Amino acid sequence: MLALDRVSKTYPNGVHALARFSAEIRQGEIVAIIGGSGCGKSTLLRAIAGLDRASSGTVTLDSEAIASPHAKIGIIFQEPRLLPWLSVADNIGFGLADLPATERREKVARALARVGLADMAQAWPRELSGGQAQRVAIARALVPQPEVLLLDEPFSALDAFTRRDLQDHLLDLWADTRPTLILVTHDVDEAVVLADRVLVMRPRPGRLFDQIEINLGRPRDRNSPLFENFKRNVLTSLDRSLDRSVPDRDATQGPGQAMWW
């Protein structure tokens, strides 16, 4: 279990990015974090990843405190961040340097096949499309079999078709080993498609505002009325988090825009 206990972050320039954020995330759960810009979503993710230290509060994974990058925690960024001087296969195997070469090659080959890029093993990153590059990034993060995988708006730079494709693909990969997924997004559709639970954050300072359980079986039908309903719930909560509309859950609003900033 991943436990966040009153995690706060104040940057050296005085910006209060995150205030006393607490949450408990079960092993294998998929959690989406959504909120207006500047609500500390990415700050939170970076604290969990151990890339930045929280000013106060603790992040613990299975009762082990996280203060620096941890072997059980992987991260996928908004950009693929592939290393341009390594082939696709070597990029995927980057985190497996400690394994013997044969075992590494085996795992990389399996991961390549799993993300559908077996024929691109020896390609350079510059030869990949945006979607392919993000697949490689996903494979690179998953191949060391992390218990927790963090995703920082991983599909926001992709076109709508590629994004849907990769969302489905991510769920597919998740089902293999069922790591905990924590996904930062500003796309309500994406949150409802993927998550078991949506955490809505509120800005200035960033803090937890609302939690919405998405009790939908998988695979989820993006066009079902139930799906629309959950989307509307999340949108409403988002609006309330910014005090933009009267807090009234039952009010029937329009379907709202799928992309929300």
Return the range that interacts with other proteins (CB under 8 A); candidates 6-14, 65-73, 204-212, 239-247.
Answer: 65-73
Residue 49's Cβ-count burial label (10 Å; 0-12, 13-18, 19+) is buried
Decide: is 145 part of the binding site for other proteins (CB under 8 A). no
- Count of CB atoms situated within 10 Å of the CB of 110: 13
Give CA angle at 80 (70, 75), nearest 5°: 20
Q: Looking at beta carbons only, is 108 or 188 nearer to other proteins?
A: 108
What is the x/- site pattern for other proteins, positions 7-46, by CB under 8 A?
----------------------------------------
Q: How far apart are CA 241 and CA 209, in angstroms?
A: 6
Q: How far apart are CA 121 and CA 123, in angstroms?
A: 6
Read off the tokens for 97: 């340097």
The per-type count for the chain, helices as H runs and strands as E runs, is 7, 10
Residue 7, strand partner residues: 21
Q: Looking at beta carbons only, is 35 or 125 nearer to other proteins?
A: 125
Q: Looking at beta carbons only, is 68 or 215 nearer to other proteins?
A: 68
Amino acid identity, position 227: F
Q: How far is the CB of 12 from other proteins (least distance, A)?
A: 16
Q: How far is the CB of 229 from other proteins (least distance, A)?
A: 37
Q: How far is the CB of 216 from other proteins (least distance, A)?
A: 31
Read off the tokens for 89: 């296969």
Count of residues in contact with other proteins, rule CB under 8 A? 21
Q: Looking at beta carbons only, is 127 or 221 nearer to other proteins?
A: 127
Q: Looking at beta carbons only, is 81 or 105 nearer to other proteins?
A: 81
Question: Pick from 16, 20, 81, 164: which binds other proteins (CB under 8 A)?
Answer: 81
3-state helix, strand, coil in the chain (%, to 5): 35, 25, 40
3-state secondary structure of 151: strand
Q: Looking at beta carbons only, is 70 or 231 nearer to other proteins?
A: 70
Decide: is 208 part of the binding site for other proteins (CB under 8 A). no
Residues binding other proteins (CB under 8 A): 49, 51, 68-71, 74-75, 77, 79, 81, 83-86, 94-95, 97, 124-126
